[in-house]
Structure 1
């Protein structure tokens, strides 16, 4: 299928993909659009990029700027989706924030950085999910997919705060799956992903390539394919789908 063709697998479905102006979110938005879903592209600040992604998708799409760390903006994102399309079927919680701080640098992990990491990654995801669930209940194929990290299952990651937030998201995934069926709730937990943000992390990419059984870093496409696999499987809920080339088996 070319980038201009639109398939029918997810025809009639409406998806919100947060943090979708680049990286995993952008690739997920493109895959969903190519399969027929109406996609709401979102970012907190990269407006031009987000608008460009939305305009370039093969299917129907809108861009909505919203910082999910702000409850009102998260609610407005859901409301705009319902106003535009009248329904919500898929919520891909991809938006996140981090900064690189050595785990041994206790002073470097300031209160401000700690708070911001939790505000976006945990509180923002939680609030947006709460606003989305009443609308997802009306879908006959409702799905939530949280993009987490192997930092949530191993003592690694760009900062200790980041690792803690991803562990919280993994647990949030399981708890939501247990309590809110038939909505299916799963997570994709990548290892190191080759994106623009990690483009200058040469040493880390080299270390992954030297350690992982599949000797390279993940790509946004690898992660988007995992999202699609979880959306397609009608009897999977509460799973943390690790996408890391097997590196956690050697950690």
Structure 2
């Protein structure tokens, strides 16, 4: 283990698998105390926390529930006494073709915003007073290139990611010295997308780097933003150059 983040406490939401899990593993290997979180994959989340090399805890919370989102922050402070890094990775989507408006039901629309926007907002707002006490306070939002291009698994998903990108800029402008940045991946090869063969093939055929992103690619981008002490308000696109060809 490295000692780079030895005195830091980090929450990584949605970290029972995928980008969140890899980010949690990288932070733990660098010495951070890590809070692993998920809304439903409790056994997987507990296993991730137990397998990390450093101090870690699993806290179940559905961030689309305001009380549970607040409870995640409060429980972290109660257990570890501080918060330095908030990695807002938890999100939700389902595939709905953009040209099929009737398939984008109100239920899907609301759930997408409840998790991706409201949940992130509730967590962030609750965390900011504690982050102000850190000597290196950071928020990193995991967004998407769907927030900067008219694409994505559904129109609702794309709208939520655009909202998160703009939220990132607004928070960075108003809440310094807390640094607020975003990582905006293209399609990522995770358990969530393992059945999206056609989409992975399309990315590989189009992107200058001919493959989908990996959780490791995204975690490295998170670390880069945490390490750069003079970067705030950036949307770090991690898409192998895909958007340069769209």
TM-score band, normalised by shorter chain? over 0.9
User: 1:139 aligns to what SS in structure 2?
Assistant: coil
Deviation at 1:200, TM superposition (A): 1.3
- Aligned match of 1:213: 208
- Aligned match of 1:72: 67
Deviation at 1:203, TM superposition (A): 1.0
User: 2:31 aligns to what SS in structure 1?
Assistant: coil
| Equivalent residue in structure 2 for 1:51, among 43, 46, 50 | 46
Q: For residues 68 and 205 of structure 2, what CA distance do their matches in structure 1 show?
A: 42
Q: For residues 68 and 153 of structure 2, what CA distance do their matches in structure 1 show?
A: 27
Matches within 5 A, 1:1-251: 6-251=1-246
Deviation at 1:213, TM superposition (A): 0.4
TM-score (norm 1): 0.98
- CA RMSD in angstroms comes to 0.4
Q: For residues 199 and 93 of structure 2, what CA distance do their matches in structure 1 show?
A: 16
User: 1:107 aligns to what SS in structure 2?
Assistant: helix
CA offsets per residue over residues 10-55 of structure 1, 9 Å max, x none?
0010000000000000000000000000000000000000000000
Q: For residues 13 and 125 of structure 1, what CA distance do their matches in structure 2 show?
A: 21
Structure 1 spans left out of the alignment, 5+ residues: 1-5
Deviation at 1:202, TM superposition (A): 1.0
TM-score (norm 2): 1.00
Q: For residues 203 and 108 of structure 2, what CA distance do their matches in structure 1 show?
A: 26
User: 2:191 aligns to what SS in structure 1?
Assistant: coil
Structure 2 spans left out of the alignment, 5+ residues: none
Deviation at 1:197, TM superposition (A): 1.1
- Aligned match of 1:3: none
User: 2:192 aligns to what SS in structure 1?
Assistant: coil
